[in-house]
Amino acid sequence: MADKCQRLEADVAIAGAGPGGCTLARELSRKGKKVVLIEQGTNSRSFFGNPLGIISRMEKAPHLFPTKKTVEGYSVILGHGVGGGTLLYAGSAFLPGVDYWREFGIEFEQEMIDEAARETWYHMPPDEFIGQGTRRIWQAANEIGIPFEKVARHIDFSKCVANCDLCVMGCVPDAKWTAMEYADEAVKNGATLLTSTRVTDILVENGVAGGVKARGKGGEYIVNARVTVCACGGVHTAGLLQRAGIKEAGSWFTGDPTTFSFGFIREGQGNAREHCMSVGWHDEEHGVVFCAMAAPAVSWHAQFFQDEPLKYLARMHRYGRVLSVFEKVSDEGMGTCHPDGRISKSFTERDWSAFRYARQTAEKILTKAGCDPGDLHHANFVLGHPSSTVKVGVLLDTNLETQVKNLYCCDTSVFPKAPGRPPALTVVVLAKRLARRLEVLV
């Protein structure tokens, strides 16, 4: 028997409910526009605060350590569910790089940045949220001339618990901002939210987009819309565009590769179970973000075991003594999202030189902070910011519209080069800017 096919009409159909899609849905629904927001994952706060909170909200692959991987074996972490990557993110808040975007013809209004920061709970951590191990790293960095300072976070500290390290597993007291906030508001404003429903195709006729086709728990859907927006994140937006005939989508791939460098102290408290990413440094000259942070226990054990199994077995009981810094390096975008879903990612000479610099800098900090210099470790790279697959200036104009009329993108795929900083707030600002354009078009 054929699946039932439901037909919906909308001003704007949005594929993907990460920060890009949810912000857009909220802004447009506030203006009375008819919005259909479609998300392949669920809309749920279940398992918040425990490792299942990560595992259940991550796109998985069928192997023992189930993160999605590139052909070369680097993990690519993709959020899955209403909220997208903000379900898994650590909540560090970096303002958009105004000069970065200006270079590609996009001007952000300061008022819009301020509004986005306020609404996403942008706050500096109060002193009581800086743990002992974190202070030790901060002080060591400053003593060797590395200007670590407090880093802002998408956190309402009046609801947060000092020394809690569970941000990435889902925040039980809802102190961490996620894009679910905007999705909830959009639904209250009358937007239709379809969950567990995957957009399979963009409807295109004579070079004009007219909505999407989707399939999910409610069967098959045809959503006819005056404007269609892909907000499926860096990887899946590229796939949808390829299927819509934009073959060059996915010809590049950046991921801001991240590595954790860590060592062990003999006495005192490490920073492993402390509030994370509260101090750090954005080294714009070398394109590296450093922050004091240890991977959450479940990821630390899994990653260390995969990277160095024998050394791991001898040190697995020492998580409480870990001092750890992460380094996020802005890479040059050599990579491909293939139409069959595979991702290839390679690094250039410049990327490798930036990695060496980042790791050596972290080693200096950790050694100064008291770690044994003969027992320092670097985790394999994780690609946490899949981006730049549908670049502004190449496949998108400065309004984020593709060559297919009325088809827009609004997520990290649009970044013209590696974000080089945690990008969630920038995505929110891009979506607010796009909403302002669309609200007069539809």
Ligand X SMILES: Cc1cc2nc3c(=O)[nH]c(=O)nc-3n(C[C@H](O)[C@H](O)[C@H](O)COP(=O)(O)OP(=O)(O)OC[C@H]3O[C@@H](n4cnc5c(N)ncnc54)[C@H](O)[C@@H]3O)c2cc1C
Contact residues: ligand X, CB under 6 A:
15-20, 38-41, 77-81, 84-86, 88-92, 168, 198-199, 231-233, 236, 384-385, 411-412, 422-425, 427
Minimal distance, residue 382 CB to ligand X, in Å? 8
- 212 DSSP β-pair partners: 202, 223
| Environment class of 272 (CB within 10 Å of its CB; exposed 0-12, middle 13-18, buried 19+) | buried
Which one, 14 or 365, has the nearer CB to ligand X? 14
Q: Which residues of 201-216 are buried (b: 16+ CB within 10 A; e: fewer)?
A: ebbbeeeebbbbebbb
Distance CA(91)–CA(19), nearest Å, equals 12
Q: Taking the chain, what is the end-to-end CA distance rounded to the nearest angstrom?
A: 37
Query: Is the CB of residue 360 less than 8 Å from the CB of residue 288?
Result: no
Minimal distance, residue 414 CB to ligand X, in Å? 8
Which one, 119 or 363, has the nearer CB to ligand X? 119
Minimal distance, residue 36 CB to ligand X, in Å? 11
Which one, 51 or 370, has the nearer CB to ligand X? 51
> Nearest-CB residue to ligand X?
18
Distance CA(353)–CA(356), nearest Å, equals 5
Minimal distance, residue 60 CB to ligand X, in Å? 12
Which one, 284 or 375, has the nearer CB to ligand X? 284
Which one, 151 or 362, has the nearer CB to ligand X? 151
Which one, 369 or 428, has the nearer CB to ligand X? 428
Minimal distance, residue 163 CB to ligand X, in Å? 18
User: Closest by alpha carbon to 41, among 15, 63, 65?
Assistant: 15
Minimal distance, residue 310 CB to ligand X, in Å? 27
Query: Is the CB of residue 388 less than 8 Å from the CB of residue 333?
Result: yes
Tell me if residue 197 falls in helix, strand or coil. strand
User: Closest by alpha carbon to 182, among 284, 47, 84?
Assistant: 84
Minimal distance, residue 167 CB to ligand X, in Å? 8
Which one, 198 or 286, has the nearer CB to ligand X? 198
Tell me if residue 35 falls in helix, strand or coil. strand
